[in-house]
Amino acid sequence: MIPDGISWHDLDRDARGRLRGLTKENAERVGEHLVMVGRLLDDDPERAYLHAQAAVRRAGRIDVVREAAALAAYRTERYAEALREFRTVRRLNGSSEHLPMMADCERGMGRPERALDLAVSEEASTLSRAAAVELGVVTSGARLDLKEPEAALSVLDSLGQVPQVLRERVAYARAAALEALGRPGDAAATLAPYVEDDDDVVVFDLEAEEPLTRSESGDDA
């Protein structure tokens, strides 16, 4: 169900433009489902997934619809499905922006070697700075999956300038690698700037940093 007050006009102009090949009624309904995906993805990803599937049933050949389906599948740990959807998005619009999440899906399916293959693919060289850093974090995690902590740390050391918004994520990836190397003190020091009190720092024994996100719950078309 779509709650009262939800409108496809809440989508950004570009997304609305992608839907204009549909009938007016269908475009509005698909747009409403996409708005719900965006609103629910963080707090109730399972309901977001159901809205994304409803949108796919109505407009499965539109890239923003398949992107919503990919993101919702990823957030609900449906990694094989998410990977298929991300590949579909790439075929539809030619963008490789979701390569980090594609690599993380490979990790989520227990295939870290394939994640590493994506990290050195030609597409990886086309990523934005932020996406390249995201891919580096995933690559580091894949190295930990393979019991290669030195390589995991080396990947992070090679990232260069990290955008402010990603520094905490990189710090946690670095702490995981340091812990795996038997350096818990260095790991705690790495995390210290991101907690309110240094005494509260807890470094978990992470052999592999967890794939980027996860969760679950329910809603209908």
Q: Give the pLDDT of residue 206.
A: 45
Query: Could you count the other beta carbons within 10 Å of the beta carbon of residue 99?
Result: 23
Which string of b and e fits 188-207 if b means at least 16 CB within 10 Å? bebbeeeeeeeeebebeebe
Q: Give the pLDDT of residue 1.
A: 79
Classify domain 1-95 by CATH architecture: Alpha Horseshoe (1.25)
CB 35 within 8 A of CB 16: no
Among 42, 40, 216, which residue's Cα sits nearest to residue 55?
40
Q: Give the pLDDT of residue 165.
A: 96
**Per-residue confidence in pLDDT tens, the chain, 221 aa:** 799 899 999 999 999 999 999 999 999 999 999 999 999 999 999 999 999 999 999 999 999 999 999 999 999 999 999 999 999 999 999 999 999 999 999 999 999 999 999 999 999 999 999 999 999 999 999 999 999 999 999 999 999 899 999 999 999 999 999 999 999 999 999 999 998 654 544 554 444 455 554 444 444 44
Locate the domains of the chain by residue range: 1-95, 96-210
Q: Give the pLDDT of residue 195.
A: 83
Q: Give the pLDDT of residue 67.
A: 98
**DSSP assigned state of 196:** S
Query: Could you count the other beta carbons within 10 Å of the beta carbon of residue 3?
Result: 10
